[in-house]
Structure 1
């Protein structure tokens, strides 16, 4: 039951992730760490790099036995060398409180690693785990982690105001389209186009047919789920207004769907980390301009949106608008990964004057940088002007000046413009 790991088994064919160091730092500080994120993103594999024993609750052959043991003496499931990985802990919700109690009893750091593909069900636990169980968000792989970004431009260096930024992306228009539809799942790296297509089809089918229902035990219609996901995919990188989703479903089914039902499905998709909307950044402004607080719609990986739009890489190349929206979503995914490695968070900015920043990275010490995201070179000038306008709007008596302003692109070269704004190909970035 302990499933002890040898070092060789633990490190075999592992693709390093930026979250690795963060996990180690948390294990040095707290008794247990919960890694959450979408299925298939690598939580279990990453957890095993630090674990010395494993309780695998994805093992259907033994799950019934584990549940029986949990009903008799749950502490038996916690026995094993530390850190002990408890994979997909939510299969036996009582494990949460058992881990918390064991952390209190032993009063040591680095005891347990938990992984989960759904949000914590607060009704099934007695204690939040505050102070004992730290939460760590994991996403699919960034372009840098996949090995396709050159990594010549570091976000850390941008915040530290490195005087000169240069770099060259090796990703052309078609390769970027292929990366959008492939997604950032570790199992897809190095696979053929046809293998990846089948993998993602299986993944997305599981979302609609099983995952969206097993999240809370409520049965949901797979056809409605697929239509809702298609409607949401059409709204990717746009304000998360759900008013038209029900109408989209009704057009295809000739059956009306209540707004509350739509919201229930969307809530379930958020709980299984399929959707990850981008919240609004609300700085103090010099003027009385109203800041739009509606989140912007994003999927945890742009490949999910591409799948439900029936968009292959070739389709995107002949549909620049859709390609641009999915490219923006891919860039937001990468920025979230890089920002997290710097203890930062990502937001968006929109106001009533129509001024936008597609992403604002805000660090815990108050430093911030703003991005516009443009697939092609034609919109760079306008994007840079908008970022400069945003800088002038922010009240510098209440907020720090921006560490940088940058336009993320699908173009080839990284450089700094004469107005100080950086132009950064996504294929050059890293944390």
Structure 2
């Protein structure tokens, strides 16, 4: 049993940069590298790709990440844990093995499955957000339960170099290697609560080192273009010190850690995860050195009897159109264009959104009198049941070129198929995870 382990987080979402993980794998002296690449909408879109092609459904950047990372994790004896399997961990594992063969690397991959619970839902379950039955939202296309650390432990008990999963709760990706390495009991609410705090702080990668924290002139972050991702040293008693690779950009301070600790947390005393209901209120932070923050004091209550399920449904289409107006009277010309579009489309759409980007598109108000903007980007969007109907929005915006008002330019039009997301709960006893091993 180890007395200390080091875990790095090389990605905080599917589209994250590639190089921070490579730096961690090469220079971080890691025991484990975690790539957290899954979100509610991400997995629903992955399910759509899998329906179109049974060999797909994993993270779109999987091949690129693995081509670069596999040599480093084998060279430096690092175990990789990632939810890049998304809707198809088995296909992802097979793909990783194919890449390993191309690179002449001996790799064992464990694929963790069981989070796909769509066959277990009837559609009559109530949505957490609306209280209405799931089927009232639209045709269900995906349902993935948030698995916990217990689903990963059998994979960690094998000789697998890579553990690839689907929907596992973000903190659990970090809880599992701590439990495995130190032999902690999953019923030890103090240890698992502290592990959940560690996982929550690490899961968004560059946010901890100042990424989402940065606000120029108010909260400046050094060498921002070369933002490093964090690693954490954890001891048997749960004490954790967060840091980053020397020479990388960004910073780890009490302020950056505090912001991430409360990120997406509604009630710090009751943060629900599959592993337990965590309590962050007793967490204590100490600056122990430059870019070093010690964290202790996480705790919690026994795990809930239900698991959260992220449910994707077909929500129709969005039609969009954009055009720019610049110079004197730009806002008034854009407003004339927006009102013209509204009149022409009102009989075809029940809800039309018109944004004046550069004026009121984010806050939907001007906040009083300000100088007239010199350029405005008009955006019009409307929801439709078919792609044909959605196309009308962009067509009308494009027609403003010659039908006025004056000076419109740079028109673009888009059609997006929309995946809606709701959530529900399922008894955890109904969800059974399994592992499958693959070898290059």
* TM-score scaled by length of structure 2: 0.26
As a proportion of its length, which structure holds more helix? 1
Q: Which has the higher strand share?
A: 2
Bigger Rg over Cα: 2
